[in-house]
Structure 1
Amino acid sequence: MLLALDIHNLAIAHDVHVSFDDGLNVITGETGAGKTILVRAISAVLGGKLTSDFISVGADSLRLDAEFALPRVCSLRDMLGDLVTDDDMTVVATREVDRTGRHKYRINGRIVPISTLRLLGESLVDVHGQHEPQSLLVRENHLQLLDSFLGHDTQTERELFGTRLAELRAARRELEQMETRRAEWDNETTYLEFASEELERAQLRAGEDGLLIAEQRLLENVRELQEQLGQAWAALAGDESRDSEGIVRQVGRLHHTIDALCSIDPRLNDVASLLDGAQASLKEAGSTLSDYLSRLELDDARLAQVTERLDAIARLEEKYHKDLDGLLAFETEIDGKLHERHERAGDEAGLRGHIAQLENELSTIGASLTAKRKQGGPVLARKVEEQLAELAMSNARFVCSIEQSVDEQGIAVGDERFKASETGLDVVEFLIAPNPGEGLRPLREIASGGELSRVMLALKTVFAETDQIPTMVFDEVDAGISGETGLAVAGKLSSLSMHRQVIVITHLPTIAAKAGTHLVISKEQSEDATTVEVHRVTGEERVRELARMVSGDQVSEVALANAREFLFP
């Protein structure tokens, strides 16, 4: 319950303190006196819209403080955590704005984010602004109202539907992108697969071309090698058929001669050693040449193979504009790209499966929401009709229309596909027939503001049966009504106030007379400024305020008598 509201420098409310009681609190005053400032202040201190433009002329900042009673045991205490202690029986919400547009939000003097103020407001106050009946004209709001009536489980299920629908839309976009890329990749994939097969058949090896070129050069010059190396071997070994002594034997004889002379002059030992080593090296060179020549054969078949292999490599290099190392790197690159495509094909299949799973889940959730709404819609309609009957609309018919739109791309339920939105598969619209003989029409076709206000009050009353919000604020809920209808609205507000605190800005004396607490707001003007003042009226002062509401500024004895009759019927 709202205990007190302090306003400092909000528009023309420079320094206003208002205390409220439980039950029905009414706020009255002349037109233009600033009554809606109180509603704006209550809404703003709990996180509603507020800018520096509302700071009073000449002031540097504005400040709003709202004090609420806090039950000893309630879920709100858990939400506030250490912002309140076990001994706190009240909680104070504070909001400040300076000329630079800087905002400060506090709970019990401690800085908090605006989201915490809003959570506090959602738990403590339901503000019904003077333009709120117009929200009933927007069909999209009707589903929210129905779901609020159906309770937490329905709203949780609806939120889950919205989450899954967002996931489905994202998955479908991703699949569409995959399909577009896949179409672009088809030709390239065919090319890559052909190139992969061709290079795999070629069985290329790193450095192979250099080895083949060397082998080709050898095979092409076998005859010359045989001739030249044969002569070299003959020079080393000699030719017995020609009685030709080879270099090895010549060096051997020379070594023998020098070795014999060493006994005469030992200084020749070094020469002898050198000749001995030369003879050994020449013998080894001759043996190696002999072995090489024995294995050196003219192999035209092998030469053809080598040449053909080099030609094949050259064709691949020319075809793909790469050398052998480049071809090997390209082969690895192709394998990677084809593997990626195979993985993406798997991803696409997995994504299609995920989409099917999401569609099935949405179908189940959507069907469940539709069933709950179709079951709960008539219940809400019946309760609203009961409330309208108490608001002088006893013959009104109220219906919650729940329909679906067929959509080939929508969510399948049974044999049909329905258009989906974040709230489910349903389109909800409130229909009303205010008077007997009239057909059901959308609320937006109601011409009477009084009828619309009563429908809103009826809905608020129905919702009050299920929510636990302790304070309801109505800004001119009596717009467009008077007479007997005004009495009915007054009775309804009085009934509401038996179970929670109700704060009403009204211009009807019939409503004001029902209040346990009557506050009057007035505008005081001086040469320098205009200010707002709020004071509580009782006794004769209250009678005169009601009389003013009956007759205007000129309070007559008849108006005073009427006022007393309102207060003491």
Structure 2
Amino acid sequence: MLVELSIRNFAIIKSVTVSFQKGLNILTGETGAGKSIIIDALGLLLGGRASADFVRYGEPRAEVEGLFELPPGHPGLDVCKNVGVQIEQDGMLVVRRDISNQGKSIIRINGQLVTLAMLRELGPWLVTVHGQHDTHMLMQSDKHINWLDAYGESALGAAKQEYSTLYTAYRKTKQDLERMARNDRELVQRIDLLQYQLDEIEAATLTPGEDEKLMQQRKKWMNIEKVYSTIQDAYRALHGDQKGMDWLGHAMGELERGVNYEEQLVPILEMVQSAYYQIEDVVHNLRQLSYQMDFEPEQLAEVERRLDQIQSLKRKYGKSVDDILEYAATIQDELDDMHHYEDRLQQVEKQLQELAADLAVEALELSVIRSECAGKLAQEIEQQLKELHMERARFAIDVRQTPDDDGVEIDGIKRFVDANGMDQIEFLISPNPGEPLRPLAKIASGGELSRVMLAIKTILAGTDQVETLIFDEVDTGVSGRAAQAIAEKLARVAGQRQVLCITHLPQVASMADAHFLIKKEMSENETETRVNRLSDDERVSELARMLSGAEVTAKTEEHAREMILLGRERKTVS
């Protein structure tokens, strides 16, 4: 249950701490006092979306903190364990959410940082909020199946899971078949296009990495002529008449004659002789290199043509030769599939028929169980309505199937199926004797819708393990005896669960185990919402205000005091 809620710098709330108790906790206040703000703040602790707009003007951040007490075996304890949050043996759980004025949110559970996804996994097990939005959902008949399936979860769960798995496979296979069943013209056009592309690639007879090798050859051929010319120039400078070696040989001959007359020329001669023989080796090597270089301009032209061809293919099919070859393999596989189109089409059609047969069995089983649950839920709702001052109302749940030529054959008839099965669910009601059952969404008044919703919520509250229920103005549109019936119903629910109820009805407020007043105070410079728990005398004053409006008289106070006493008596009897 929710033990305490602390809110700071949230919207027009500066600082509020509210301690709740077991039973029926009532919150009242003038319109615009900030009752919905309390629900919004609590919603953040359940995983609601954060916004910078929540932060009080001029403050750096808003803070919302809730203290929850979970009994042993509560599903929320398992969720905390799964996300790595430590829980003390007393089952106390602190959930905190900080929102900066930049819209960033920090979440902690028992002081440990967690993600929003983790909080959203835990939130539904802590508190269930029932508001006017839920009542509006009763007007949408396509949502009725959700209420019924929530009621019958224990009976429907396994069958619905099995059906859901089959339906997913059936839907996927059907979509595959629809894609394959393209008209013949589109198929032929696709085959022609892919075959042309494959022929063009195969005609090029590409080899892996060929483009890189050709680029290297191209670079080599573009430079070879220049290298050959350099070698020839060097060779001609060293070899031949009046060239380098000729003059070096002449110098060597003169020195050989001179050493006969001067010994100091001997080392100079030796150096010239060494240089001559080295240059002779250089000339030999240059001649050999020039013989080895076989430059043909046609070879470079051939490389250029091949690279142009590959570049043309790259623009169409890939960034490299390897990419082009990979694309060719892909379209080859697709062509093979298309050429075996008829065989594959028959296989998928057979698979779809088998899945449809299995789906029909599961849909029928799910429908039988759902019909049984519908009968039980209708009886329980009718009983609840009797306790809500609709003693002669009749309630039924219509479970029907819709023929569909494109559906699944079930019991010899093709029927519409979706993710929920083959059933369409609609709530029917006859509020008054002598009237036939008609769709709830078409004939029920606002007060009747509120009571039907409260009946459903009361029933569903007994099927889950959520300890705290919040009713946000679910009594809208009712008054008089109907309002008293709703008040007593909420008090009975509060006997099994902790209930927080925002209300404008004094009948409901008179049944409170704890009554809180939400009040907006305005000064010259700021507006602030406060929440105070009322004493017995303050409760009398608040109920008198709710009864009479602006002017509170002694008679309205006396009436209010009487309502509180009667409320205590009724709770004791119930």
TM-score (norm 1): 0.71
Please give the alpha-carbon distance, in whole angstroms, between the structure 1 residues aligned to 2:30 and 2:186.
Answer: 73
CA-to-aligned-CA distance 1:274-310 (integer Å, 9 cap, x gap): xxxxxxxxxxxxxxxxxxxxxxxxxxxxxxxxxxxxx
Paired residue for 1:106? Answer: 108
Paired residue for 1:438? Answer: 435
Which stretch shifts more, 420-429 or 52-61? Answer: 52-61
- Secondary structure in structure 1 of the residue aligned to 2:537: helix
The AA in structure 2 aligned to 1:57 is Y
**Aligned residues of 2:93 and 2:109 also touching (Cα < 8 A):** yes
The AA in structure 2 aligned to 1:441 is R
CA-to-aligned-CA distance 1:399-446 (integer Å, 9 cap, x gap): 111111101110111100111111111110101111112222222223
- Secondary structure in structure 1 of the residue aligned to 2:392: coil
Pick aligned residue for 1:493 from 451, 467, 490: 490
Pick aligned residue for 1:557 from 536, 546, 554: 554
The AA in structure 1 aligned to 2:47 is G
Are 2:49 and 1:52 equivalent residues in the alignment? no
Instruction: Specify whether residues 561 and 429 from structure 1 end up closer, same or farther in structure 2 by C-alpha distance, changes over 3 A only.
Output: same
Please give the alpha-carbon distance, in whole angstroms, between the structure 1 residues aligned to 2:27 and 2:524.
Answer: 27
Instruction: Specify whether residues 336 and 410 from structure 1 end up closer, same or farther in structure 2 by C-alpha distance, changes over 3 A only.
Output: closer
Instruction: Specify whether residues 356 and 554 from structure 1 end up closer, same or farther in structure 2 by C-alpha distance, changes over 3 A only.
Output: same
TM-fit CA distance, 1:384: 0.3
TM-fit CA distance, 1:478: 1.6
Pick aligned residue for 2:350 from 339, 353, 358: 353
Instruction: Specify whether residues 163 and 105 from structure 1 end up closer, same or farther in structure 2 by C-alpha distance, changes over 3 A only.
Output: farther
Paired residue for 1:128? Answer: 130
Please give the alpha-carbon distance, in whole angstroms, between the structure 2 residues aligned to 1:155 and 1:11.
Answer: 41
Instruction: Specify whether residues 340 and 136 from structure 1 end up closer, same or farther in structure 2 by C-alpha distance, changes over 3 A only.
Output: closer
Paired residue for 1:530? Answer: 527
Identity %: 39
**Aligned residues of 2:80 and 2:87 also touching (Cα < 8 A):** no
Please give the alpha-carbon distance, in whole angstroms, between the structure 1 residues aligned to 2:449 and 2:377.
Answer: 17
Please give the alpha-carbon distance, in whole angstroms, between the structure 1 residues aligned to 2:61 and 2:450.
Answer: 36
CA-to-aligned-CA distance 1:88-137 (integer Å, 9 cap, x gap): 52112222222322222221122222222222221121101133211110
TM-fit CA distance, 1:532: 0.5
**Aligned residues of 2:360 and 2:408 also touching (Cα < 8 A):** yes
Paired residue for 1:21? Answer: 21
Please give the alpha-carbon distance, in whole angstroms, between the structure 2 residues aligned to 1:514 and 1:335.
Answer: 78
Paired residue for 2:418? Answer: 421
Paired residue for 2:270? Answer: none
Paired residue for 1:95? Answer: 97
The AA in structure 1 aligned to 2:450 is S
Structure 1: stretches of 5+ with no match in the other structure? 193-331
Written as runs of structure 1 = structure 2, the 5 A alignment for 1:388-537 is: 388-446=385-443, 448-537=445-534
Which stretch shifts more, 100-109 or 421-430? Answer: 100-109
- Secondary structure in structure 2 of the residue aligned to 1:57: coil
**Aligned residues of 1:148 and 1:155 also touching (Cα < 8 A):** no
**Aligned residues of 1:66 and 1:94 also touching (Cα < 8 A):** yes
TM-fit CA distance, 1:348: 3.4
Please give the alpha-carbon distance, in whole angstroms, between the structure 1 residues aligned to 2:165 and 2:175.
Answer: 16
TM-fit CA distance, 1:86: 4.5
Instruction: Specify whether residues 391 and 188 from structure 1 end up closer, same or farther in structure 2 by C-alpha distance, changes over 3 A only.
Output: closer
CA-to-aligned-CA distance 1:152-181 (integer Å, 9 cap, x gap): 452453354344333323222222332338
**Aligned residues of 2:46 and 2:126 also touching (Cα < 8 A):** no
CA-to-aligned-CA distance 1:319-352 (integer Å, 9 cap, x gap): xxxxxxxxxxxxx999988865566555434322
Please give the alpha-carbon distance, in whole angstroms, between the structure 2 residues aligned to 1:188 and 1:494.
Answer: 70
Paired residue for 2:152? Answer: 150
CA-to-aligned-CA distance 1:241-284 (integer Å, 9 cap, x gap): xxxxxxxxxxxxxxxxxxxxxxxxxxxxxxxxxxxxxxxxxxxx
- Secondary structure in structure 2 of the residue aligned to 1:560: helix
The AA in structure 1 aligned to 2:46 is L
TM-fit CA distance, 1:11: 1.2
Paired residue for 1:545? Answer: 542
Runs of 4 or more, structure 1, over 6 Å off, are 186-190, 332-338
- Secondary structure in structure 1 of the residue aligned to 2:17: strand
The AA in structure 2 aligned to 1:384 is I
**Aligned residues of 2:510 and 2:564 also touching (Cα < 8 A):** yes
The AA in structure 1 aligned to 2:422 is L
**Aligned residues of 1:157 and 1:365 also touching (Cα < 8 A):** yes
The AA in structure 2 aligned to 1:52 is A
**Aligned residues of 1:84 and 1:91 also touching (Cα < 8 A):** no
TM-fit CA distance, 1:540: 1.2
Which stretch shifts more, 54-63 or 130-139? Answer: 54-63
Paired residue for 2:69? Answer: 69
Instruction: Specify whether residues 153 and 379 from structure 1 end up closer, same or farther in structure 2 by C-alpha distance, changes over 3 A only.
Output: closer
- Secondary structure in structure 1 of the residue aligned to 2:107: strand
**Aligned residues of 2:35 and 2:502 also touching (Cα < 8 A):** yes
Instruction: Specify whether residues 468 and 440 from structure 1 end up closer, same or farther in structure 2 by C-alpha distance, changes over 3 A only.
Output: same
Please give the alpha-carbon distance, in whole angstroms, between the structure 2 residues aligned to 1:335 and 1:37.
Answer: 63
Instruction: Specify whether residues 12 and 339 from structure 1 end up closer, same or farther in structure 2 by C-alpha distance, changes over 3 A only.
Output: closer
Please give the alpha-carbon distance, in whole angstroms, between the structure 2 residues aligned to 1:93 and 1:390.
Answer: 37
Instruction: Specify whether residues 345 and 131 from structure 1 end up closer, same or farther in structure 2 by C-alpha distance, changes over 3 A only.
Output: closer
Instruction: Specify whether residues 64 and 517 from structure 1 end up closer, same or farther in structure 2 by C-alpha distance, changes over 3 A only.
Output: same
Please give the alpha-carbon distance, in whole angstroms, between the structure 1 residues aligned to 2:130 and 2:536.
Answer: 29
Instruction: Specify whether residues 424 and 188 from structure 1 end up closer, same or farther in structure 2 by C-alpha distance, changes over 3 A only.
Output: closer
TM-fit CA distance, 1:75: 2.8
Please give the alpha-carbon distance, in whole angstroms, between the structure 2 residues aligned to 1:151 and 1:337.
Answer: 46
Please give the alpha-carbon distance, in whole angstroms, between the structure 1 residues aligned to 2:358 and 2:527.
Answer: 61
Structure 2: stretches of 5+ with no match in the other structure? 195-328, 567-574
Which stretch shifts more, 104-113 or 393-402? Answer: 104-113
Instruction: Specify whether residues 491 and 559 from structure 1 end up closer, same or farther in structure 2 by C-alpha distance, changes over 3 A only.
Output: same
Please give the alpha-carbon distance, in whole angstroms, between the structure 1 residues aligned to 2:430 and 2:183.
Answer: 56
Please give the alpha-carbon distance, in whole angstroms, between the structure 2 residues aligned to 1:389 and 1:334.
Answer: 70
TM-fit CA distance, 1:188: 10
TM-fit CA distance, 1:34: 1.0
TM-fit CA distance, 1:25: 0.5
The AA in structure 2 aligned to 1:23 is G
Please give the alpha-carbon distance, in whole angstroms, between the structure 2 residues aligned to 1:180 and 1:552.
Answer: 70
TM-score (norm 2): 0.70
- Secondary structure in structure 1 of the residue aligned to 2:380: helix
- Secondary structure in structure 2 of the residue aligned to 1:137: coil
Instruction: Specify whether residues 443 and 338 from structure 1 end up closer, same or farther in structure 2 by C-alpha distance, changes over 3 A only.
Output: closer
- Secondary structure in structure 2 of the residue aligned to 1:555: coil
CA-to-aligned-CA distance 1:520-548 (integer Å, 9 cap, x gap): 11011111111110011122122111111
Paired residue for 1:384? Answer: 381
**Aligned residues of 2:24 and 2:494 also touching (Cα < 8 A):** yes
Please give the alpha-carbon distance, in whole angstroms, between the structure 1 residues aligned to 2:106 and 2:404.
Answer: 48
Paired residue for 1:140? Answer: 142
Please give the alpha-carbon distance, in whole angstroms, between the structure 1 residues aligned to 2:37 and 2:167.
Answer: 41
- Secondary structure in structure 2 of the residue aligned to 1:83: coil
TM-fit CA distance, 1:56: 1.5
**Aligned residues of 2:87 and 2:110 also touching (Cα < 8 A):** no
The AA in structure 1 aligned to 2:29 is G
Pick aligned residue for 1:568 from 555, 565, 568: 565
CA-to-aligned-CA distance 1:212-244 (integer Å, 9 cap, x gap): xxxxxxxxxxxxxxxxxxxxxxxxxxxxxxxxx
- Secondary structure in structure 1 of the residue aligned to 2:181: helix
The AA in structure 1 aligned to 2:371 is K
Paired residue for 2:316? Answer: none
Which stretch shifts more, 49-58 or 550-559? Answer: 49-58
Are 2:11 and 1:3 equivalent residues in the alignment? no
Paired residue for 1:116? Answer: 118
The AA in structure 1 aligned to 2:74 is C
Paired residue for 2:276? Answer: none
Which stretch shifts more, 484-493 or 544-553? Answer: 544-553
Please give the alpha-carbon distance, in whole angstroms, between the structure 1 residues aligned to 2:337 and 2:441.
Answer: 57
